[in-house]
């Protein structure tokens, strides 16, 4: 089933086209890594898919229904983790998860059990009764992800989920995403952490200047000549550099030139 479907998605600001006629199709059980250089239109696309922004033109359908922020039944089947969001930071991590669980309609018993399990899996047990204001950036990422997955959403949107996380936490997140996909969830993620994207995604789309230049499965991606790693760089990094037509290394004239000082 097509869980995420975007057709001719376009967003303009004045005369500046930020997202240009984008088509996307993410099916149940797939993880789409949506990547590209800074300013490519990744977050703007993400925001239109999640209803944060209205497209200038084009359509978004989730689970076969038009994206509508007022569609309560649809929203109950979504999990959304923005890069930055305002949380109830006066609450403790435990209180936040219990609150979200009740909003999602979980029973008191299920809310307590899932909260305890999420705090354990995300290594937040020691911080469970501390206010979120005391959390590090990485810890806030984890508590957001925990809150967004308590109700086992059928569609999950993640914007920069690995930023600020250590390697162990990132591996935990990748494992959870893979488990969700195996159970049929559709996942759309954007990230600059290309190694993690390459490892966790079943499909990859590369965007530049608001246009999707490449969309393929992980297997198809690995067969691309431009995806062959070189100079120690990952395949996905090489591909983005190739598509972006940018030099791998740049120089500052005064670095390494003693005569410039």
Query: Which residues neighbour 38 within 8 Å (Cβ) at sequence distance 6 or greater?
Result: none
Q: What is the mean pLDDT of residues 171-178?
A: 96
pLDDT greater than 90 at residue 62: yes
For residues 72 and 157, give the distance between their C-alpha atoms in angstroms, rounded to a whole number: 17
Query: Of 223-227, 231-235, 238-242, which has the strongest mean pLDDT?
Result: 238-242
The mean per-residue pLDDT over the stretch 7-29 comes to 95
Q: Which domains does the chain have, with CATH numbers?
A: 2-77+153-218 (3.40.50.300), 87-147 (no CATH)
Helix then strand then coil, % of the chain, to nearest 5: 40, 25, 35
């Amino acid at each position: 089933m097509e869980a995420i479907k975007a057709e001719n998605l376009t967003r303009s600001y004045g005369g500046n086209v930020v997202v240009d006629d984008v088509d996307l199709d993410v099916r149940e059980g797939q993880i789409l890594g949506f990547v590209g250089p800074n300013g490519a239109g990744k977050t703007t696309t993400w925001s239109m898919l999640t209803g944060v922004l209205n497209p200038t033109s084009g359509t978004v359908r989730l689970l076969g229904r038009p994206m509508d922020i007022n569609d309560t039944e649809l929203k109950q089947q979504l999990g959304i983790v923005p890069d930055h969001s305002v949380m109830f930071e006066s609450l403790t991590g435990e209180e936040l998860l219990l609150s979200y669980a009740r909003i999602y309609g979980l029973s008191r018993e299920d809310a307590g059990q899932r909260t305890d399990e999420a705090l354990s899996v995300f290594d937040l047990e020691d911080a469970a009764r501390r206010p979120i204001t005391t959390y590090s950036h990485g810890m806030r990422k984890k508590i957001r992800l925990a809150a967004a997955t308590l109700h086992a959403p059928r569609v999950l949107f993640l914007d920069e989920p690995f930023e600020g996380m250590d390697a162990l936490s990132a591996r935990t997140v990748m494992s959870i995403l893979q488990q969700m996909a195996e159970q049929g969830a559709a996942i759309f993620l954007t990230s600059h952490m290309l190694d993690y994207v390459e490892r966790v995604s079943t499909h990859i789309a590369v965007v530049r200047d608001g246009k999707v230049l490449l969309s393929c499965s992980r297997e198809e991606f690995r067969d691309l000549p431009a995806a062959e790693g070189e100079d120690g760089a990952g395949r996905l990094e090489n591909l983005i550099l190739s598509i972006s037509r940018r030099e791998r290394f740049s120089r500052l004239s005064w670095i390494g030139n003693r005569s410039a000082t």
